[in-house]
Amino acid sequence: MFAAVTLGDVSIADATIEHVVEDVESLNRRARSGEFEVSCVSAATYALVADRYRLCDVGASMVRAHGPVLVARAAIDLRDVPDKVVAIPGSHTTASLLLRLYTADEPALIEVPSDKILEAVLDGQADLGVLIHEGDLAYRARGLVGVLDFADAWRRDTDLPLPLGVTIVRRDLDEEVQRRISRAFRDSIRWARANLDDALAHARRFARGMDEATCREFVLTRVDDHALTLEVAGHAALERLYAEAHRRRLVAATPPLDAVS
């Protein structure tokens, strides 16, 4: 999404860009302190930082397939999950919020870096794991079984895309600056679509050894039309996620969706 901004093909007037690349849970935690003017965070984290950050209409990651998946070494009934140990990719991630939404009681949780969860389940450190990123494309090849595909469950229950990540901008920035940032990110995504090979070559620098075919599949499932604009379905999906989380008392309040366009 942001390759063109980083590579200099798209610029933001009167702004200097420093691209900080970290795992999503690190960005989630740093957003809690308002460290960055602009950040990508888990959709679940926006509910915790909406007093300080404003949602961008551009840069969201929403899926209808290949979303986070709960896996185990052998088949297990979802009703038995609360009695197990589950590895999660961070307590502020949308995947972890989904686990809490789809289990009657919260299981024992351990936080594991997202790229280590598959191994944590295989070696018995955890009974189950919530896989995100490319992990949801690779677990069967490693002998694990799916217990619940959250994207499938969400689509079945809501007929909406599943919000995973969003882009946020700090509310203390001038509103025109917020708009310039949002417009530049939309231009960056359009550049990536027009220059897909170059954008994917840039993305693979951060792909943790992912092969080219898997990288392409992963990116194209997460950078769809909702990345350009939330539209009605994207707004409805976020509203539903926060409403369900609030109903289950997993977030204190539903956040405003006053997105910068």
Active site residues: 133
For 136, the token pair is 């949801």
Return the DSSP state at 120: H
Residue 122 phi/psi, 5-degree rounding, is -60, -40
| Cα dihedral sign, 151-142-211-94 | positive
| Cα dihedral sign, 241-247-251-256 | positive
Can you tell me the distance from the alpha carbon of 72 to that of 89, in angstroms, rounded to the nearest whole number?
A: 15
> Where do we find the tokens 């999503």?
24
| Half-sphere CA count of 166, side-chain side, radius 13 A | 29
According to DSSP, the residues that pair with 40 across neighbouring strands are 167
DSSP of 136-166, one letter per residue? HHHTGGGT-EEEEEHHHHHHHHHSSPEEEEE
